[in-house]
Structure formats: structure tokens, C-alpha cells
Copies of this chain bind each other. A is one copy, B any other.
Amino acid sequence: MQQQVSVVTLGTADLLRSRRFYVEGFGWTPVFENEEIVFYQMNGFVLGTFSTPSLETDMNRSGLTTPGAFSLAHNVATQEDVEPTMRRLVAVGGHVLRQADAPPHGGFRGYVADPDDHAWEIAWNPAWTIDERGLVRFGL
């Protein structure tokens, strides 16, 4: 079967607050939005921010909680880009979970939670390649 994820959907309590974090913080542009969902075309898949009650209805499950046992990462081009990116995210409603430092496996990274407490690692990892379309390849 294709080694493929089509959508990553984040539940949100306040769609406009979330939209501000992603549009003004990361500088991303929605590809579609209405009153309950905002979609972003990403590097080979789609990111959605979706009203949590609507997500619960769609998956037929209630009681979704935060912080969930997952994280997302966004890689930047240089070590010097990590902290300014974190500061930009904090300025639009994020909060720092871990100040940037060097992990055991190399590189440099910190963590910022979005306004719904979803964790983002902001990382510089020189072992991984990222092409001009944003396609990321694992490397050691």
C-alpha cells in the first residue's frame, strides 16, 4: 500500500485564533476555508484545522483531549532560523514548551505549542534534505 498520509487534522477550539497562528506565525496561506475548517496545502499532504466538536462528530468519538500524545515538526534551513521562528509563533498565540537547544542526535530545536496546545518542534537538522517544494527526506 502507498506509504502515504493525505491529511493531518488538528482539532481547534477557536478557528480564527488558530488561523492567526498558522497564517501570521508560519506565514502559510490557506487553500480552502469555511466556518468550521481551514485547509493548508503542504509538502505532499494537506493540513487541516477543524473545530474539535466537528472532528468528534466526524470520527464518531467524543472526549478528545489536549495535549495529545503527538507532535509535529517544521524544519528550518539554518540553526540561526530556529529561535526567530519560535519567537514569531509565540507572538501570535503560541507558548514555549522547550527553549531551543541541541538534541543528542544532532542539530538544534525547540518546541512551541499552538493556541490549542498542539506541540510543534522547530528544528534545524543538517542530516535531512528538504527540496525547494518542501519535500523532506530522512537522513542520518
A 26-40 binary contact with B (CB < 8 Å = 1; else 0): 111101100000011
Closest to A85 in B: B1
| In-complex Cβ contact of A103 among B39, B58, B136 (8 A) | B58
The answer to whether residues A68 and B69 also contact, given A8-B5, A32-B138, A61-B119 and a CB cut-off of 8 A, is yes
- In the complex, A119 Cα to B7 Cα: how many Å? 12
Q: Is the CB of B29 within 8 A of A3?
A: yes
Q: Is the CB of B65 within 8 A of A68?
A: yes
A 92-120 binary contact with B (CB < 8 Å = 1; else 0): 00000110000100000001000010110
- In the complex, A70 Cα to B70 Cα: how many Å? 9
